[in-house]
Structure 1
């Protein structure tokens, strides 16, 4: 059984009795610093308002010259009322919980997607955790140019992993760094689905996006709907229940019998090349045994250059499982319902479904 997922650390609750109280001298010593901090925060809020409010199409009292837009330039932003949509708020909460659970061992806590992800730091850590591959970027960057450079490297890696066509990308360095919640959510939803995050994303979440354009010196704006999530049929997002769901939920003792039968079946053939399986939960997740098993069942040699015999990262494992699925289809089996990512992510039901299909066809084979 897989070990329980680490949960994200929770910030301490304020007002606990066992907290150490500030001494009189500590309070005196920090008065000036706290005052300066408050002044800095007020200046930052004023600056933020000065930057954001010119771009708001809902502020008709601002003259066009206040907008920092060139002729024919566009600026888009989420309509404020969209933040009140319960489905959008649920999506953001689910995404935040997923990120915090993934990064719990690094003591990283995300509270606000726009404020915590725009500079690329958290995105870097999340992508490294998901791909199990270290990225060559500076750990801390303070300047805006340094943040954008780091974010550019992180997004290039994300786009490579997601195999996202450039004309279909709904995020960019500029949009992420400008804290566009729409772009940030598009990226995170794509990552969650690609790596089969163990969460259920709310379906059919959409927001209204206001697009402002400067034409002939005047500001024109229009509102368009933007779909963030759609209807999902793949495992982990929306799952059609089958016999394995019933076994896992209501008859775990019978599930052990099924697993024992499948272990006997695969070992009957893998033993021919001195391989042995004793744990279905983990030993098929990299795709190697699936590829070799297909070659043994069909009596053909699988060239070693066609798959990764010792896969080192998520992508290589996905390649192996996907290749085994192609071999299954070449031999007349239906395309497996599970995604390769499901197998790699140790989803037991997905592994059982695939192996049971092989068992059904080849169980009488000597």
Structure 2
């Protein structure tokens, strides 16, 4: 009896097998591509996307407010604001470039900067000043203490210490991950330290302000401007003015303007025994003599007829402002050539002078930064002095 032949496995055509294997390969490839796309999207959202504030309906615990207390949040339309998204991306990249040696990678401005750790590193790098704060902490009180030190240092370097200063960020705002306050601070730092970066111009966002009144939450919407018109070095782009023309094409007439301004300034400062020009001709305008802001402050006080308390300004190289309450006459006798403020103190003084000018209704048509005066930019000094002269030339 013949032995039973072993069962023969079903025959699979080679073409069908290849098709089958190809289908598996294509499915796996598609799956892998989808996973890659999903990871890329998550990464892009983490870097580019802003922190979305909770809605009032979905997060009532975030809006436990006292009577007449306010809280703000971004309007959801900000997620579709191209300029805002571009600004976020630029600021993230700028911080990562500055802190590359620290091996720090920022993905979200709100989630990564709120506790003061990375923000402190950035301020240290930009200012060159080591902060005396603990490195890492999860304690909320210690985080806010660290933020206080960081912001006080930043404000000092930005020249925002006087009662006249307008500061658009707070400890609580940054710790509560308010993106608008964080952006205002970063833009101010970027411009002050002249980062070679072009910001998107005239970026605005809509902000929802929530206030509790009579036990009910009331909302209103406002527009907040985050950037103006700047070039890549953080300088405001302005049209050319008469001083540009004088410097470029009429140096002889420029000397006449300088002599006129010298006479105007000395005529008024001499009433308080200050002589600010000591060149051979006595008629040359030295921009360095205005770099500490004191002459501008004394000039405004003289023209407006008031005494500027020395406790509000810096008059020496000491770290603390002079607290003496001298009379205007005694103040005038201070030898100006002995005054040697640090750059930070000079910036503070110039900002005080600018605020005094603004209070007197004086606005320089061609925008001048306080840093330009501190850096003794002659054209900027002339613009400021001419604007003052134009208002008080008949005084």
Task: Answer yes or no: is 1:190 the counterpart of 2:223.
Answer: no
Decide whether aligned partners of structure 1 residues 66 and 303 sit closer, same or farther in structure 2, where only a CA change above 3 A counts. closer
Name the counterpart of 1:112: 108
1:305 correspondence with 2:330: no
Q: Contact (CA 8 Å) 1:120, 1:147: kept in 2 or not? A: yes
Residue of structure 1 in register with 2:56 after alignment:
57
Unaligned 5+ segments in structure 2 are 1-51, 241-276, 290-334, 352-365, 381-395
Paired position in structure 1 for 2:25: none
CA contact (8 A) 1:172 1:183 kept: yes
Structure 2 residue matching 1:159: 3-state secondary structure:
helix
SS at match of 1:138: coil
Where does 1:30-49 land on structure 2 (aligned, <5 Å)? none
Deviation readout 1:64-98 (Å, 9 max, x if unpaired)? 79941222221111112212200001111111121
Per-residue deviation, 1:107:
1.6
Q: Which residue of 2 aligns with 1:75?
A: 71
CA distance in 2: counterparts of 1:65 and 1:317, whole angstroms: 45
- Aligned ranges 1:94-173 → 2 under 5 Å: 94-164=90-160, 165=163, 168-173=166-171
What is the CA distance between 1:133 and its match in structure 2? Answer: 1.1
Q: How far off is 1:231 after superposition?
A: 2.7
Pick aligned residue for 1:223 from 206, 221, 224: 221
SS at match of 1:168: coil
Counterpart secondary structure, 2:72:
strand
1:343/1:214 CA distance change after superposition, 3 Å: closer
- Provide the C-alpha distance between the structure 2 equivalents of 1:186 and 1:65, rounded to a whole number of angstroms: 27
Gaps of 5+ in 1: 1-51, 243-293, 323-335, 355-366
CA–CA distance in structure 1, aligned partners of residues 346 and 107 of structure 2: 32
- Offset at residue 180 of structure 1 (A): 0.5
Following superposition, the deviation at residue 167 of structure 1 comes to 6.3
- Structure ID, larger Rg: 2
- Cα distance in 2, alignment partners of residues 84 and 72 from structure 1: 31
Q: Following the alignment from structure 2 to structure 1, what is the Cα–Cα distance between the partners of residues 115 and 166?
A: 22
CA positional deviation for 1:160: 1.6
More RCO (CA 8 Å, sep 6+): 1
Question: Which residue does the alignment assign to 1:85?
Answer: 81
Q: 1:211·1:223 contact (CA, 8 Å) conserved in 2? A: yes
| Greater displacement, 120-129 / 179-188 | 120-129
Check 1:88–1:298 CA distance in 2 against 1; reply closer, same or farther (3 A cut): farther
- Is residue 235–residue 338 contact of structure 1 (8 Å, CA) maintained in 2? no
Query: Map of 1:243-258 to 2, 5 A cutoff?
Result: none
What is the count of residue pairs matched by the alignment? 228
1:214 aligns with 2:212: yes
In 1, Cα distance between equivalents of 2:92 and 2:63: 33
Does structure 1 conserve the Cα–Cα contact (< 8 Å) formed by 2:92 and 2:106?
Answer: yes
Distance change (3 Å), C-alpha of 1:241 and 1:230: closer
- Normalised by the length of structure 1, the TM-score is 0.52
Query: Distance in 2 between the 1:197 and 1:81 partners?
Result: 29
CA contact (8 A) 2:204 2:226 kept: yes
Deviation at 1:234, TM superposition (A): 9.7
Shift of 1:120: 0.6
Conserved? CA contact 1:131–1:315, under 8 Å: no
Q: Contact (CA 8 Å) 2:115, 2:143: kept in 1 or not?
A: yes
Post-superposition offset of 1:305: 3.3
CA RMSD of aligned residues (A): 4.1
Going from structure 1 to structure 2, the CA distance change for 1:241 and 1:132 (only over 3 Å counts) comes to farther
Deviation at 1:147? 0.5
